A = this chain, B = another copy of it.
Amino acid sequence: MNIKPLADRVIIKPLPMEEKTKSGIIMPDTAKEKPQEGEIVAAGPGKVEKGERIALEVKVGDRVMYSKYAGTEVKYDGQEYLILKETDILAIVG
């Protein structure tokens, strides 16, 4: 993929529903916010704070949970992706 996110942004390929079932995560039926799952396909270099670059905790290939209201959608070669900041990622699903 030839899209390089800036700073602390990553590009995520959302998982289809079938894979979600296989990994064991099922979204509950309540009024709370429900996270989504996806795979990181590109990651920025980290943002700079006080002159130092803060490395990301996630890397390409990680399967992650993220807030479903976060980020910006893009379509590339027929596939939908999401660009979001690392702070919108909740956890790595190992």
Contact = CB atoms under 8 A, between A and B. Distances in A.
Given A3-B94, A89-B6, A91-B83, A57 B73 contact: no
Contact of A76 (B25, B32, B57, B58): B25
A22 interface: no
Copies in the complex: 7
Interface of A: 2-7, 9, 11, 24-28, 30, 32-35, 42, 44-45, 48-52, 54, 57-58, 65, 67, 71-77, 80, 83, 86-87, 89-94
23 contacts: A3-B92, A3-B94, A4-B91, A4-B92, A4-B93, A6-B86, A6-B92, A7-B87, A9-B90, A11-B91, A24-B76, A27-B75, A28-B74, A32-B71, A32-B73, A33-B72, A33-B73, A34-B73, A35-B72, A35-B74, A49-B50, A49-B51, A65-B83
